[in-house]
Amino acid sequence: MRPSNRRSGPGGGDALAALAREPLRPYYLVHGEETFLVDRALRVLRERLLPGRSGTWRSVWADDPAQSVGAALGDLRSPSLFGGPEVLVVRHAEALRDGVQEDVLGALPALSAGGTLVLVARVADLRRRVFAACVRAGAAYGFPAVEPRELPGWVTRLAREQGSEITSPATHDLLERSGGDLGVLAGEVGKLVLRAGVGVRIEAEHVREVVKA
């Protein structure tokens, strides 16, 4: 069973917007197959939770036996020696062992704005109590794989973020040549903006010059 909530919006755009504007929370679940958008979500959280780059951002992997999620969680609940907010990111959270999952679940109510937990999972199975708790609290943000029909809108958005527009024929050619990986598309759009110039509309000929077939 996978999460189903309003934050898992079309192409992940709704979830990104929610992360950027909603009041900060003591814990988050960021999940989904679209890794490009998951990474974007983490950047949004880092900018909001650690303004001015003050504080500590620590990542651990739940499936790495050399790392102790429980110990990292204990550190998060203790005052930092360096001051400033602390953020603990647990990647591959779907691999949390049952005992550690219960420790995480028990820690959620005690977390504060000064110590934030971010769980990152490719698939957030609601049969796991910690994921279900995040969904119930409205703290789950989903980024499912972008559907093909949504890709043209993302190309337009990526171009506008860099100060340019892109024509429909150019978008079509770009998708034909690059496929549907958002990370790849973002890189190619960046090259196209450099080729055409910021503020200059990207045409199909720019795509043919820059993007290999």
Structure confidence by residue, pLDDT tens digits, 71-125: 899 888 776 666 678 999 999 999 999 999 999 999 999 887 668 999 999 999 9
Helix or strand run (H / E) with residue 59: strand 56-61
Assess contact for 19 and 109: CB atoms under 8 A: no
Token pair for residue 153? 């809108």
Q: Which two tokens stand for residue 173?
A: 């050619």
At position 129, the amino acid (one-letter code) is R
Quick: pLDDT tens for 22-49: 999 999 999 999 999 999 999 999 999 9
Please compute Rg for the chain using Cα positions. 19
Contact partners, residue 191, CB within 8 Å, separation at least 6 = 210, 211
Q: Residue 142, SS3?
A: strand
Is the pTM for the entire model greater than 0.85?
yes
Q: Quote the pLDDT of residue 113.
A: 61
Q: Is the pLDDT of residue 1 over 60?
A: no
Residue range 45-61, pLDDT digits in tens: 999 999 877 789 999 99
Q: Which of 197, 40, 185 is nearest to 120 (CA)?
A: 40
The amino acid that residue 72 corresponds to is: A
Distances (CA, A) of 99 to 7, 96, 103, 129: 28, 8, 6, 12
Spacing of C-alpha 88 from chain mean position:
15
**Interatomic CA distance for residues 154 and 160, integer angstroms:** 10
* 3-class secondary structure, 126: coil
Residue of 130, 131, 121 whose CA lies nearest to 92: 121
- DSSP class per residue in 143-176: -PPPPGGGHHHHHHHHHHHTT--B-HHHHHHHHH
* Contact in structure between 119 and 90 (CB atoms under 8 Å): yes
Q: Which tens digits make up the pLDDT trace of 123-158?
A: 999 999 999 999 999 999 999 999 999 999 999 999
- CA–CA separation, 80 vs 185, rounded Å? 40
Residues 152-164: tens digit of each pLDDT: 999 999 999 999 9
- Reported as type and span, the H/E element at residue 19 is helix 13-21
